[in-house]
Amino acid sequence: MAEKLVSDLLAYLVAAASNAGLYGPEHPAVKAYSLRAHAVLAELLKDSQELSLTAVGPSLLVGDTPLREHGAHVVSFLKKLRQRGLERVVFRQGVQPQEVEAFAVGLSGTKGAVPTGGHIAVGALQVRTRAPEGQVQGLLKQGQAMVAQVYHGLSRLKRLDAAGLEDAVLGFISALQREANVLRLLSPVKSHSEYTYVHITNVAVLSLFQAQALGLQGEALHEVGLAGLLHDVGKLFIPREVIEKEGKLQEAEWAAMQLHPLYGALFLSQQPDVPRVAAIVAFEHHMRYDGQGYPRTKLRSHRQHLVSQMVALADFFDALRSVRSYRGALDVPTIAGFIQEGAGSMFNPLLVKSFLQALKKAGVL
């Protein structure tokens, strides 16, 4: 496989699509980059009938070989495919420059769906309304494993593997599409050390559940999932003894713990591949609708971001749902009662209403 050529092809396609997104599909840069992409394609298709690119998890398969290169353009290409709901593209010999341009413009999302047919065929992600239990659990497990992997390799100095998390989010979104009962998608915590991964996964699923109920789709929905997965990332920078302490925290320990939103926001704002909203949510998820909570800000007019409000609600729900050392798990009607009580003070009342309604509709409440 001509690895370098494929890498160039992706770079030009992404450049064409980004320019179409930024300046419109008529911008000359779109044509220019599409022409370059076409030239590379012609080279690649010199001796073969077709070139297929398939998104599988965080990797891109070229034919059936994973592309080793993981540069920003590869990540961006995968992301654009997902945003358009695609998982596979096949370029066939004889492909025309106009077809490449139309594909790039389609990828930018500025002109409806990505065209298919002729010498470029695209395959959509398979979304089914109902799947066997095992499959949904498999998606969840896979997502959770990816989250754990990303978190394990993470430190203050390292770049976050956002692509791994994005794939996990994608898995959660399709699990939600297949399983209406959101409770079945939440995992129980088996051990103390597991708590972090299981908790953030549950918060991501519950936030996505709310976001879907509000009608969010595509990129916006995706960002909610990522923000859910990253809301507590600041805990990585708090001493382990404090995080893992099972009893009540001492005053100094509590003060340290309360810094995790700030650490999380600082860390995420330095990560090039992480959407801004994730940093905002990390900062704001312990704030309340009425302006209480922490961190305290001097800005009285500070309003919690809508996504932070969703994540705060999800965080609360999951905390009460899991068994902790000092109490057992609460049942859903009891938690719903607490949430209802917090409408207008802790939580945005409109979100409370929509969340409880969605739980009812899902047959959970």
Q: Which residues bind Fe ion (CB under 5 A)?
A: 232, 315
Output the CA torsion sign for 136, 140, 141, 145.
positive
Write the CB contacts of 110 (distance below 8 Å, at least 6 apart in sequence). Answer: 20, 21, 24, 25
**174-193 b/e (C-beta count within 10 Å ≥ 16 → b):** bbbebbbebeebbbebeeee
Contact 281, 305 (CB under 8 A): yes
Of the two residues 161 and 315, which places its CB atom closer to Fe ion in the complex? 315
Of the two residues 95 and 227, which places its CB atom closer to Fe ion in the complex? 227
Contact 246, 213 (CB under 8 A): no
Residue type, 319: A
User: Nearest distance from residue 280's CB to Fe ion, in Å?
Assistant: 14
Q: Give dist(CA 312, CA 304) in Å, integer.
A: 10
User: Nearest distance from residue 234's CB to Fe ion, in Å?
Assistant: 8
Q: What is the DSSP string of 110-152?
A: SSSSPP-BTTEEEEEPP--S---HHHHHHHHHHHHHHHHHHHH
Nearest-CA neighbor of 305 among 291, 284, 276, 279?
284
Of the two residues 284 and 315, which places its CB atom closer to Fe ion in the complex? 315
Of the two residues 58 and 261, which places its CB atom closer to Fe ion in the complex? 261
User: Nearest distance from residue 339's CB to Fe ion, in Å?
Assistant: 16
User: Nearest distance from residue 300's CB to Fe ion, in Å?
Assistant: 23
For residue 295, cis peptide bond before it (omega within 30 degrees of 0)? yes
The residue length of the chain stands at 365
Q: Is 258 helix (H, G, I), strand (E, B) or coil?
A: coil
Of the two residues 75 and 282, which places its CB atom closer to Fe ion in the complex? 282
Neighbouring C-alpha atoms within 13 Å toward the C-beta of 320 = 15
Of the two residues 53 and 182, which places its CB atom closer to Fe ion in the complex? 182
User: Nearest distance from residue 153's CB to Fe ion, in Å?
Assistant: 21
Of the two residues 60 and 287, which places its CB atom closer to Fe ion in the complex? 287
User: Nearest distance from residue 286's CB to Fe ion, in Å?
Assistant: 6
User: Nearest distance from residue 199's CB to Fe ion, in Å?
Assistant: 6
Of the two residues 9 and 229, which places its CB atom closer to Fe ion in the complex? 229
Q: Residue 150 corresponds to which tokens in the numbers above?
A: 């990303």
Of the two residues 163 and 313, which places its CB atom closer to Fe ion in the complex? 313
User: Nearest distance from residue 5's CB to Fe ion, in Å?
Assistant: 45
Q: Classify burial at 302, counting beta carbons within 10 Å of its beta carbon; exposed 0-12, middle 13-18, buried 19 or more.
A: exposed
Of the two residues 62 and 230, which places its CB atom closer to Fe ion in the complex? 230
Write the CB contacts of 127 (distance below 8 Å, at least 6 apart in sequence). Answer: 85, 174, 177
User: Nearest distance from residue 359's CB to Fe ion, in Å?
Assistant: 19
User: Nearest distance from residue 223's CB to Fe ion, in Å?
Assistant: 18
- Tell me phi and psi for residue 303, to 5 degrees: -115, 130
